[in-house]
Amino acid sequence: MHHSPFRPLVGLLALGFLASGCSGSAPALETQRDAPEASRSDIESLYWQRIAENKTYSEADVAYMTGMIGHHAQALILADMAYRNAASGSIKTLAARIENAQKDEIESMQRWLRDRGQPVPVPTFEGTLLTVTMEAPEASGEMDHSAMDHQASGEMEHSGMDHSTMDHSGMDHGAMGHGGMDHSGMPGMLSQAQLDEMNAAKGRAFDVLFLRYMIQHHAGAVTMTDDLFTKDGAAQDDTAFKIASDIQVDQRTEIARMQLMLDRLSD
């Protein structure tokens, strides 16, 4: 069920009215009754104002969230293949754990962007083909970009990569759908050839590839997060810092776990 982000403010407003009514005198009560009630638009305006005042974020934060959503989405493709192709129950359990964690993180990053009036990536996949389209900011979510620290990155960098100096002519675009964003050059992303190799593998051969390529994929996410933390002014927003820190810790932990599983399969 979708819950409106404005309900807490409505509740606080109502509590404020009750507190005023309980502690004030009779004339004060009459004054409160005569005062116009706050409209929904007033409450929404207050909500976005507080977001702008209390959450200073950077272009690097926006680029990180935008890129990591597409990065996480490719992990969902790998997890989906594991349900069909894996031999080991432990691989399928690992895939389910990764899928649940990355879906939750995608939703958190989408919410972070939406709350700050930023375009929101919406990933979908069919087979091994990943498409990421951009959802325009909602009118109610638009905010004053003075809250953004433009000094953190100087220019918009896409997930830690400077595209102005990158030669895209040799980039493998096969893993991405047309009409969306291209994430294939990000650290750890699998090429279309690697995805096809996994999709064709079965049983133990798939298990080995799944662990090998998921370790590669997770290591890329760690690199992206490390890059974010090195940028001046980045990850100062409390929510952005928590999301990035959780990704960094969780992916490093899973890399160690998967390496142990891969070592056992290789014995």
Tokens of 197: 């190799």
pLDDT at 181: 60
Could you tell me if residue 163 is inside a domain? no
Could you tell me if residue 47 is inside a domain? no
249 band by pLDDT with thresholds 50, 70 and 90: very high
pLDDT at 63: 98
Average pLDDT of 118-135?
A: 96
Could you tell me if residue 78 is inside a domain? yes
pLDDT at 43: 83
165 band by pLDDT with thresholds 50, 70 and 90: very low
Q: Which domain holds residue 75?
A: 54-136+182-266
Could you tell me if residue 157 is inside a domain? no
Q: What is the pLDDT of residues 207-241, one digit of tens each?
A: 999 999 999 999 999 999 999 999 999 999 999 99
When divided into structural domains, the chain yields a total of 1
pTM of the model: 0.68
Output the domain CATH number for residue 245: 1.20.1260.10
Could you tell me if residue 49 is inside a domain? no
Tokens of 91: 């691989």
Could you tell me if residue 11 is inside a domain? no
Averaged confidence pLDDT in the chain: 79
What percent of the chain has pLDDT above 90? Answer: 60
3-state secondary structure of 120: strand
125: exposed, middle or buried (C-beta count within 10 Å: 0-12, 13-18, 19+)?
Answer: middle
Could you tell me if residue 14 is inside a domain? no
CB 194 within 8 A of CB 213: yes
46 band by pLDDT with thresholds 50, 70 and 90: confident
Higher pLDDT, 211 or 50: 211
pLDDT at 55: 60
47-51, 92-96, 147-151, 233-237: least confidently modelled range: 147-151
Could you tell me if residue 31 is inside a domain? no
180 band by pLDDT with thresholds 50, 70 and 90: low
pLDDT over 70 (residue 8): no
pLDDT over 90 (residue 109): yes
> Largest Cα–Cα distance of the chain, in whole Å?
83
CA-only gyration radius of the chain, Å: 23
